[in-house]
Chains A and B, each alone.
Chain A
Amino acid sequence: MKRLSILLVFLASPVAGQDVSLPHTMFTLPNGLQVIVHEDHSAPIAAVNVWYHVGSGYEQPGRTGFAHLFEHVMFEGSANVPRGEFDRLLEAAGGSNNGSTTPDRTNYYETIPSNAVELALWLEADRMGRLLETMTQQKLDLQREVVKNERRQRYENQPYGTFFEVVFDALYPDGHPYSWPTIGSMEDLSAASLEDVESFFRRYYIPNNAVLVVAGDVDTEEVRRHAERFFGEIPAGAPVEKPDIAVPEIPETQYLTLEDRVTLPQLNIAWRAQPFFAEDDDALDALAQILGDGKNSRLFRRLIYDDQIAQDVVAFNNSQLLSGDFFIRVTGREGLELGQLEEATMEEIARIAETPPTDEELERVINGIETTFVSSLERALGKADQLNLYYYYTGDPDYSAEDLARYRSLTPSDIQAAARTYLEGQNRIVISIVPEGETELAAEGAVTR
């Protein structure tokens, strides 16, 4: 069977023959704030989504985790919004809100009934323009404790949770901002000061380093008026350049062993891949799925279905602004020597590097990507974040047609080439996570390619 060829239209009234697009209006305020509006009146809902172009990849050693800690502080009130009111006002209007931090950016977002768009925009404007006027040591200290508990809950008290601290340190040279996890270290969280909050805000939380997207049941001209009124007076700051830091190759294959309070041993392998939307990034995405997604994926079939030596397999291509990393994680059965998993995993990679995957394998992946793409655009917030993502990484808020096209044009030999270029025989970081006292289960590096 051939690939699905579907004409997708994200308008209320589909017109046959049109392909995928996210129609929008974009304008820039005199202070540099860029505003993108996408109208969709199919439901009485709207999303407000602000991306600040700063994340943990902009941090300095000694202040790791600060971009994320700052994200928390942003919810603690501003000049005209007493502490706690941000959430109270939005909840009373039937809205939901949150924020998130990655190495490349920090986003803040609300989904609201369409009558509350003005409120959400004002709340975003007040904290963009007037956060520091009511900032206190107490607010910082409190969120520091919350973030430390987030770190304990999501990493320290999770099985295998220390992996992310170790792997980025091994993947990137000392001092590189991708060499630490976004959550940061406890020590650096403790060291963050009120002065840090002030200087970070003045440096990065300026209108000319932010992009505001409003998507859903809104009127573009009304959004423009609100944006001008609420955000227009916020002074611009010194331009922020996106980091442009060289990312060297992994100098040599490295084997690391971690002991953890776990029952099952786990093998992790990480390779250097490609930045978001760079050449081969799409082929690496597809390769990850061919290797690890679904019962017919190569690694599931080999390790879980046929050999039955693994409990779980994950392969993913983690692409970011400066670089990307390709991860394979295999959790073994109890007492299994991880060298066995490593050998089988590397054999499967070698098979793809030697012989391209079948047309059918690639079709399955592309068809899944098409459906996932459509369903991700069901939500106003999904579309708003996608417009911001495309703009940050490609310079074009509506990169959707190009994005889908890059996957549709992949051939099996592209996948083979990606396996050869980035995985097979390439330097990598191999991390064995074993039950305490069972270091003999760790992969020893006997298999070298």
Chain B
Amino acid sequence: MPSDARSLRPRAEHFVAPLEETPLQAVDAVDTTSAPRSMWGEAFRVLVRNPVFIVSALLILLVLFVSAFPGLLTSQDPTYGVLGRANQGPSAEHPFGTTTQGYDVLARTLYGTRTSVTVGFFTMILSTLIGGTLGALAGYLGGFFDAVLSRITDIFFAVPLILGAIVIGNRVDHVTVWIVVVVLGVFGWTNIARIMRGAVISVKNQDFVTASTALGASRPVILLKHVIPNAIAPVIVTATVNLGVFIVAEATLTFLGVGLPPTSVSWGGDISAAQNALRTQPMMLFYPSMALAITVLSFIMLGDAVRDALDPKARKR
């Protein structure tokens, strides 16, 4: 019971705010004016206001356009090499000059985009499918499955992506783009699996999953309709960054001579060839390297922007 004995308040005033200044509102009234906002809609609104996203998206569009229609930007054939025009500087006909083999540097850089984007894109799809499936199953089923699948993931994680690919690449006689995709995909899914597993575990313990169980949804239905849609966002972020990593990996393998054969057009192969003429023809190294750097950077920037949009908590302020 309150006692007024120890109060030093001079007198007990009782203040009441005039009602016109503090009008009462209905309890928990519904705001029917604003437009509906889904999580993806919200994320998109954040994205389009992010300059990092705008810049990276424009660069990626450019890269995609070049890889789709490299012939629109140059009339030269990237595989036509004439020793008679070797080691030329920039000219109207060859704006980036020519290589020691007499190839047109601009044409090779443009056509090389297609190889890199193909490898990066399909490897990303393959590794996300493998890693996403295994990670989701491990996280959702838990127990014994989780233990086994997680150890398998650890084993693959212990093999460096490049090392694994070098070993396989050395055993295969004629390496094509698709072999590179499979090899990189098989060794590059582990981080996706780990992220998917963690996200699935955190989602599957939420009340709405329990509510669906109690509504009568079966376990596969819950996994596909509730758990994966809610766990996919961090996987998308990682997959976008991975795309850049796989492009670098392909270039590295080709540079080392265990990737695509010298007959194919690839930035990695061009960089490898250019290092012999580094002192005399530095621009030969510069163009494919720049193309590689810009492409990879734009995918990594896109990943960052998507992360910011999907997970505001990870945003650094």
A and B, one complex?
no
Binding site for A on B (CB under 8 A): none
User: Which A residues fall within an 8 A CB radius of B?
Assistant: none
